[in-house]
Amino acid sequence: MANFLIVEARFYDHLNDLLLDGARSAIEAAGHTHETITVPGALEVPGAIALAADSGQYSAFVALGVVIRGETYHFEIVAGESARGLMALSMDGLAIGNGILTTEDEAQALTRARKTEKDKGGEAAKAAIAMLELKGRFG
Ligand SMILES: Nc1c(NC[C@H](O)[C@H](O)[C@H](O)CO)[nH]c(=O)[nH]c1=O
Ligand SMILES: CC(=O)[C@@H](O)COP(=O)(O)O
């Protein structure tokens, strides 16, 4: 059994609740435990994971959040840089699943956040589980 840290960027409460439900269900179904911390937005998620990883308390990480396009270029920054930060941490050996939604509108986000539909929270948790298993194999 491993302890997972879920790091959620709580920008849209109702969407985050759906993502959390999916991620927690997937982690528990695999027989693992989890804790959750909350940061303001997706740009803070990679840094929070880096800080938590240094504590040695967690075997794997799940990043959750929702980035919905607005009027400016900021969407590209938030979506792209949060993903880039998570990829860098993954390439550095952390077992991470990325469940930060990047959508054009709320309807797209709802479909992807719901466990009964595209379940991107559960998908991210399953990716973290898979990467943890790889760490065990190659670590
Ligand atoms: N617009 C969204 C943001 N923006 C906030 C940034 O993520 C960050 O918290 C801020 O720039 C301070 O550093 N975050 C989301 O998660 N989702 C959005 O739609
Ligand atoms: C993804 C974003 O940063 C977005 O929510 C911000 O909206 P805007 O580009 O209209 O400031």
- Mean pLDDT per block of 10 residues along the chain (139 residues) reads 97 97 98 98 98 97 98 98 98 98 98 98 98 95
**Atom 8 (ligand 2) nearest CA:** 70
Query: How far apart are the C-alpha atoms of 18 and 122, rounded to whole Å?
Result: 10
**Annotated catalytic residue, options 14, 32, 34, 74:** 74
- At the fourth CATH level, the homologous superfamily of domain 1-17+39-106 is Lumazine/riboflavin synthase (3.40.50.960)
Check if 32 is active-site. Answer: no
- pLDDT confidence of residue 139: 77
What pTM, to 2 d.p., does this model score? 0.97
- Is 41 in contact with 50 (CB distance < 8 Å)? no
Token output for 113? 């956040």
- Is 114 in contact with 80 (CB distance < 8 Å)? no
Strand (E) or helix (H) holding 34: strand 33-39
